Amino acid sequence: MTMSDKLNESSKGGSFGPTVVIVDGQLYALTTIGGVSNSQIVSSPADYALKGVQEKLTNALRDPNTKVINLHQTVFTLPFGPGGFVNYLLSRADIQAAWKKHTEHEFLNRLADGTLPVHAFKYYLIQDYLYLVHFARAHALAAYKSSSMDRISRSAAIILHIQREMSLHLTYCAEFGVSLAEIENMPESQACTAYTRFILDVGMKEDWFALQIAMAPCLIGYGMIARRLHDDERTVKGEQGNKYWRWIENYVADDYSEAVRMGTDVLNEHAMRQSPSRIEELVKIFIHATNMETGFWDMGFGEIGSGVDK
């Protein structure tokens, strides 16, 4: 069979959709009229296949959700887009179970309707102050683990914000008859020690971003809790009807809402630089920290039967 005969026979397959045919190891283009162009060889089959792979790779790289580990080895797509990491976290089934226990705890429900015993709330306030000391330490550790002045200065600003928050915290404690001396003489609860040392341990052995993840359930959780209680029609509103109403108002205030927004933006930004396997590791840290938050509420709720209001 001559080359012309071979090309004519090959062109009969054009009706099935192919745009090229291989004849004697060479690649020829099918013409729009059903014949075969033999004026020049399109390319070798291997080159043609490589071109297709390159086109797919180019399209993948244009996808904003795609991150390259090694251009010669691996291309992967994250399970969230830019700005979507935190929403992705909170929508995961394994996180939702832990998150619900944290943000809808009975301690919070009793606080919202004003029936939480005062002595239990006072104990929580004291332990929360002790927690904030270590929270400031964690942000100092974040500064140490940073290599840019922007991150270092942000950590410093957060520490100063925590200092101001603790000053207001002391004023609030005084209204419930709790002095600074009483706070400083109170031993840390096991829940406080376990939670704060977990955060610091993550900061010591993991990277900067893992430390941010370990602190996120506190920052984001308090904002969501306060907003839910503030908007819930079952919440007793106003300080005359609910002695804990100001606690709710403090965490829906503009300054705290802005802190949550900024912290969320940081998480969303840096999550895009992680690999899928690293995201799964960070999810485990987030879940464990969330469970520690629940343990803190358990601690306060456990005080209900341990004392008498004064």
Going by pLDDT thresholds of 50, 70 and 90, the confidence category of residue 289 is very high
Q: According to the model, what pLDDT value does residue 58 have?
A: 63
pLDDT digit string (tens) for 3-58? 666 556 655 555 555 555 565 655 555 554 445 444 444 455 555 555 565 566 56
Pairing of strands 66-70, 26-29: unpaired
Q: According to the model, what pLDDT value does residue 44 have?
A: 52
Going by pLDDT thresholds of 50, 70 and 90, the confidence category of residue 307 is low
Q: According to the model, what pLDDT value does residue 33 have?
A: 47
Which residue in 275, 240, 308, 303 sits closest to 107, CA to CA? 303
Q: According to the model, what pLDDT value does residue 41 have?
A: 47
Render 284-300 in DSSP notation, one character per residue. Answer: HHHHHHHHHHHHHHHHH
pLDDT digit string (tens) for 216-232? 999 999 999 999 999 99
pTM above 0.85, yes or no: no
Give residue for tokens 């004003």. Answer: 114
Q: According to the model, what pLDDT value does residue 13 have?
A: 55
Residue 309, pLDDT > 70, answer no
In the chain, the percentage of residues whose pLDDT exceeds 90 is 72
The average confidence (pLDDT) of the chain is: 86
Distances 233 to 112, 227, 236, 250 between C-alpha atoms, Å: 10, 12, 8, 18
Summarize the chain as % helix, strand, coil (round to 5). Answer: 65, 5, 25
Contact in structure between 231 and 306 (CB atoms under 8 Å): no
Q: According to the model, what pLDDT value does residue 150 have?
A: 93
What is the C-alpha separation between 238 and 172, in angstroms, rounded?
A: 16
Render 97-134 in DSSP notation, one character per residue. Answer: HHHHHHHT-HHHHHHHTT-S-HHHHHHHHHHHHHHHHH
**Which domains are present in the chain?**
3-62 (no CATH), 85-302 (1.20.910.10)
